[in-house]
Amino acid sequence: MATELGLRESKKQETRQLISDCATGLFIEQGFEQTTIAEIATAARVAKKTVTNYFPRKEDLALDHHEAFTQGLARAVSERAPGEEPFEALARTFRAALLDHSPVVGFTGAAFARMVDDSPTLTARMRELHDLREQALAAALTADAPHTAPAIAPRAAAALICAADRLLFRRIQELTLAGRADDEIEAALIPEADHLRVLLGAALAGQSSRSGRVG
């Protein structure tokens, strides 16, 4: 029974990935708004309902890493090592994603970045996802803050951190659209990310997880 369930789950993941890959190819070739669910279903050789069962929103077909994106900062805080400050965990997590050229921090390739940039729907959805990312981080910082901290402190910290996060994401997209290779983008972003880390560290100084400070 366990083997059967494992195979079934594996098949579901394969189908989901196939649909996502077919959709991405069509979006890049034709544009997001111009591509229909019916065309995606035909390309993936599945029913339209199968597509919408796996992806209730058309935008999710293009932005398939949305859950990892919206929850990533919050998880870096909640799953950090004992004794590690939240801001340190966030900086470490971003550096690892940058060196890994992760799509979660903006490494999507020029064709995909251009497709998103050309789509008003996806551009709006990306703004929503950044907002959800900030909300999730604020919740994680609130859960970690001492009762003596001002109620607005974790939300203010999340707003500052996510403003820097958005800036770095857009910077990676900007350089990608300019034709820079991933290794070149990494080299350019390391000192820029370090600069922002210093600015944030100064802005958030004096607020630890036990005394209200998040960096």
Give the number of other CB atoms < 10 A from CB of residue 22.
20
pLDDT for the residue 138:
96
Whose tokens are 């958005």? That residue is: 166
Cβ-based burial of 2 (10 A; exposed 0-12, middle 13-18, buried ≥19):
exposed
CATH code assigned to 2-62: 1.10.10.60
Domain boundaries, the chain: 2-62, 66-203
* Fold that domain 66-203 belongs to in CATH: Tetracycline Repressor; domain 2 (1.10.357)
Give the number of other CB atoms < 10 A from CB of residue 169.
19
Whose tokens are 């209200």? That residue is: 212
Take residue 25 and report the two structure tokens written for it: 């190819």
DSSP state of 81: P
pLDDT for the residue 215:
35
pLDDT along the chain (215 residues), means of 10: 72 92 96 96 96 94 90 96 92 96 94 96 96 97 84 93 96 97 97 95 68 37
pLDDT for the residue 204:
86
The beta-carbon contacts of 128-132 under 8 Å, at least 24 apart in sequence, are 129/63, 129/66, 129/69, 129/70, 130/162, 130/165, 130/166, 130/169, 132/70
Mapped onto helix, strand or coil, the DSSP state of residue 45 is coil
